[in-house]
Amino acid sequence: MKFANWLRRRSGFDTRAAEYRYGRDPVLGFTAERKHADTWVNSTCGYCSVGCGMQLGVRDGRVVSVRGNPDHPVNRGKLCPKGLAEHYTIEAEGRARYPLLRRKDAFVRVSWDEALDTMAARFRSIQTRYGPESIGVISTGQLVTEEFYTLGKLVQLGLGTRNYDGNTTLCMSTAVSGYKRSFGSDGPPGAYEDLERADVIFLIGANIAENHPILCSRLESNPGKTLVVVDPRVTKTAMMADLYLPVKPRSDLALLNAMLRIIVDEQLYDRDFVEKHTSGFDDLCQSLQEIELDAMARITGLDPELIVRAARLYANARAPFIGWTMGVNHSTKGTETVNAINNLALLTGKIGHAGASPFSITGQCNAMGTREAGFASGLPGYRKFESAVDRAELAQIWQIAEERLPTSRGLAYPDMIEAAISGKIRGLWILGTNPLVSFPNVDVLKQALDNLDFLVVQDGFHPTPTTELADLVLPAAIWGEKEGTYTNSERRVSKVNAAVDPPGEARSDFQIFLALAEKLGCRDELFHGWSTPADAFEEWKRVSAGRLCDYSGMSYESLETSGGIQWPFPAGSSEAPSTVRRLYGDGVFATPDGRAQLIATQWSPFPEQPNAEFPFILNTGRTVEHWHTRTKTGAISILQRMSPRAWLEMNPADAQKLKLNSHDRVDVVSARGRVIGVELRVTEIVGQGQVFLPFHFVETNANQLTQSAYDPISREPNFKQCAVRVEKQSGVNV
């Protein structure tokens, strides 16, 4: 009690509500007895793609605590604030417990049989009337790989629609497209160990101190590095930098092209590597002739000398690492920016050895799993829809007619939303994602969902802004309640285990898929003899064998004992599971001729420039306490109290002009909507003419402001820049 009183005085944190719900231990374990566990279950964190190993403490059939797994190679016992509070998600308020069917504007509880009979009948009836592709499916990066593999088969071969994508298109599709164009396949080439072995580390649009905190501790354990951070905002990561490059918003591609030009002009590239292992050098050099250093300096807002210094630092490094996240991906120029990053690594031959990697730091815990095993933007095992060889190989493994495999991908996520507005998509199944908060220009999304004949939302929580619009809600198990595997950003496959059963009648996504397959009459054909995720894992291993993402040497047992194994790990491999693996160390890439592609890219301004009516550039992003749309973290008292509401960052010079002060309530207005009553933070974290708003909060939803602008290749939204104005709070809801 003494500690609780101290904490209340010190932080204003009122522990009483949390004590009532959880016992007296929601903050720092000050009532040790309540957190005492009888057994510990090894698993992997279900939030971000760092993939920390953790142990769930179970007592009397409840998960009462978590701790970092000291033997796990990723986090070595550490966890970030979200991970430390993750067990509270299991008993959080608002868990979905029963299937719910909308009847006359109200949800009624129904049996699983009725729910799945209704879903199968409504989807089939829509398909009979409007064609097989009138159904769309939007998945998530939160499922286990076994579920992605099962869902992909179910959607493409059972439901018979190609219109299948995931919320990963809102965060990672740009990295996928960029890797495929440069190297012939998706798959980050490096390993987290590179953060410790690189002599120079570039982080571009990657605030890992907030968004991937445990990677920050890996980086900090490298005392000899030079850290360069490229970001328009002085993030917590930028504050750690040896060299901070405060680029103007979305000018990263201009900076990268300027660096490439300097490296070519000063002959700092690796001629031997370029000649032996790449194509496209002449075309790249020709395009770089148009890159003028002074012009790029004006575009980026950087001193030309700083750009030269950055280029020389990278090219002369023994082992440079370039990591990036959403600052690069969330852009209409995202894929080209990834290609420019890859160009740097290829031109200098800095790829495939310890420390040297162009490294996409993924978002969700298993975004990688859906990239490998899903059936959305490619066939499972990084096979291509367009490749007759790939289709024949897969058809042979599955013992199906090759003609049943699509020869091109269906609609990407944003295109499904457009298709729902135009009436081409009539039925939609959304799993484990909350687009009412996460989709750009959210009024367009609402219009699309309103237009549907039948909307199914499968989620671990209800109500959420999205489940509230559903015709049918399917309650799903969440992390801690189901088994399978996740792949993290360094291609490490780790085991995920159930510590407790899901609440009420909720089922694992895997069991829901098998039950729906039964209703659709395709279970025996597609999933013969399957009853557990292990069955899907064994088949997936066969499908992945011989591919870049080869799992065939792994087993659930070896994943448990090793704390995760990086792919490729083929059957019969003489390497120890714990060996750190990198891709392309032999200079052979996943292209038909084995050569990587150097790709000419061109900077252009972002789509919606500030103007007299909307003079600020809005940047959106995250905070360490919350996960995406707060479906989970908003229900966790300690995290919610640490970060209860959104804020708007504005530079002091701009605040002075507008006669605004810190803590004022302001409205943020774009051509598409108005966010009302955000608390202002006057701070030099953002530059003049820029404002920053976190996107987690439905109450002040940043996506009421963002625009419908997408990367033409990856279809990822341009979340990061749009034009807004800031007003003193109107108090009027418009």
Shortest Å, Cβ 638 to ligand SF4: 14
Structure-token match 């420390």, residue found? 355
Query: Of 589 and 627, which has the nearer Cβ to ligand SF4?
Result: 627
Query: Of 45 and 660, which has the nearer Cβ to ligand SF4?
Result: 45
Query: Of 53 and 687, which has the nearer Cβ to ligand SF4?
Result: 53
Greatest extent of the chain over all pairs of C-alpha atoms, in Å: 71
Shortest Å, Cβ 402 to ligand SF4: 40
Shortest Å, Cβ 68 to ligand SF4: 8
CA distance 184 to 693: 36
Q: Which residue is nearest to ligand SF4 (CB)?
A: 83
Query: Of 52 and 58, which has the nearer Cβ to ligand SF4?
Result: 52
Query: Of 263 and 565, which has the nearer Cβ to ligand SF4?
Result: 565
**Which stretch, 74-82, 289-297, 351-359, 391-399, contacts ligand SF4 (CB under 6 A)?**
74-82
DSSP secondary-structure letter at 698? G
CA angle 387, 388, 389 (to 5 degrees): 90
**Residues with Cβ within 8 Å of residue 184, at least 6 apart in sequence:** 589, 590, 591, 592, 596, 597
Instruction: Tell me how crowded residue 668 is: count the other CB atoms within 10 A of its CB.
Output: 27
Q: Looking only at residues 214 through 233 of this chain, which bind ligand SF4 when binding is defined by CB under 6 A?
A: 214
Shortest Å, Cβ 66 to ligand SF4: 9
Shortest Å, Cβ 640 to ligand SF4: 16
Query: Of 331 and 362, which has the nearer Cβ to ligand SF4?
Result: 362
Size of the site for ligand SF4 (CB under 6 A): 14
Query: Of 479 and 551, which has the nearer Cβ to ligand SF4?
Result: 479
CB 424 within 8 A of CB 161: no
DSSP secondary-structure letter at 270? -
Instruction: Tell me how crowded residue 2 is: count the other CB atoms within 10 A of its CB.
Output: 7
CA distance 681 to 726: 13
Shortest Å, Cβ 50 to ligand SF4: 4
Shortest Å, Cβ 89 to ligand SF4: 12
Shortest Å, Cβ 115 to ligand SF4: 32
Shortest Å, Cβ 432 to ligand SF4: 16
Q: What is the dihedral of CA 319, 578, 149, 136, to 10 degrees?
A: -30
Q: How far is CA 364 from CA 48, 268, 395, in A?
A: 5, 37, 30
Shortest Å, Cβ 488 to ligand SF4: 8
Query: Of 143 and 299, which has the nearer Cβ to ligand SF4?
Result: 143
Query: Of 257 and 362, which has the nearer Cβ to ligand SF4?
Result: 362
DSSP secondary-structure letter at 243? E
Shortest Å, Cβ 700 to ligand SF4: 23
Burial 379-418 (b: 16+ CB within 10 A, else e): bbbbbbbeeeebbebbeeebeeeeeebbeebbbbbbbbbe
Specify the amino acid at residue 446.
Answer: K
Burial 100-137 (b: 16+ CB within 10 A, else e): bbbeeeebeebebeebbebbbebbbebbeebeebbbbb
Instruction: Tell me how crowded residue 465 is: count the other CB atoms within 10 A of its CB.
Output: 17
Structure-token match 């605030």, residue found? 207
CA distance 125 to 272: 61
Shortest Å, Cβ 459 to ligand SF4: 20
Q: Residue 193 burial (CB < 10 Å; 0-12/13-18/19+)?
A: middle
Which of 617, 706, 602, 607 minimizes the C-alpha distance to 248? 617
Shortest Å, Cβ 632 to ligand SF4: 11
In 140-268, DSSP assigns E strands to 164-166, 200-204, 226-230, 243-245
x/- track of binding to ligand SF4 for residues 481-520 (CB under 6 A): ----------------------------------------
Q: Looking only at residues 41 through 70 of this chain, which bind ligand SF4 when binding is defined by CB under 6 A?
A: 45, 47-48, 50-52
Give yes or no for residue 213 binding ligand SF4 (CB under 6 A). Answer: yes
**Which stretch, 131-139, 210-218, 339-347, 556-564, contacts ligand SF4 (CB under 6 A)?**
210-218
**Which stretch, 7-15, 212-220, 326-334, 599-607, contacts ligand SF4 (CB under 6 A)?**
212-220
User: In angstroms, what is the C-alpha Rg of the chain?
Assistant: 25
x/- track of binding to ligand SF4 for residues 363-402 (CB under 6 A): ----------------------------------------
Shortest Å, Cβ 722 to ligand SF4: 28
Shortest Å, Cβ 213 to ligand SF4: 5
Which of 599, 614, 564 minimizes the C-alpha distance to 358? 599
Shortest Å, Cβ 498 to ligand SF4: 18
Query: Of 87 and 519, which has the nearer Cβ to ligand SF4?
Result: 87
x/- track of binding to ligand SF4 for residues 162-201 (CB under 6 A): ----------------------------------------
The H or E element that residue 473 is part of is: strand 472-475
Length of the chain: 734
x/- track of binding to ligand SF4 for residues 9-48 (CB under 6 A): ------------------------------------x-xx
Query: Of 221 and 662, which has the nearer Cβ to ligand SF4?
Result: 221
**Which stretch, 211-219, 416-424, 596-604, 693-701, contacts ligand SF4 (CB under 6 A)?**
211-219
Task: Take residue 33 and report the two structure tokens written for it.
Answer: 């007895």
The H or E element that residue 691 is part of is: strand 690-694
CB 143 within 8 A of CB 509: yes
CA distance 279 to 593: 10
**Which stretch, 209-217, 236-244, 573-581, 718-726, contacts ligand SF4 (CB under 6 A)?**
209-217
**Which stretch, 75-83, 110-118, 245-253, 301-309, contacts ligand SF4 (CB under 6 A)?**
75-83
- Which residue in the set 58, 79, 412, 476 belongs to the binding site for ligand SF4 (CB under 6 A)? 79
**Which stretch, 73-81, 345-353, 525-533, 662-670, contacts ligand SF4 (CB under 6 A)?**
73-81
**Residues with Cβ within 8 Å of residue 125, at least 6 apart in sequence:** none
Task: Take residue 400 and report the two structure tokens written for it.
Answer: 């199906």
The H or E element that residue 373 is part of is: helix 367-373
Binding site for ligand SF4 (CB under 6 A): 45, 47-48, 50-52, 75, 79-80, 82-83, 212-214
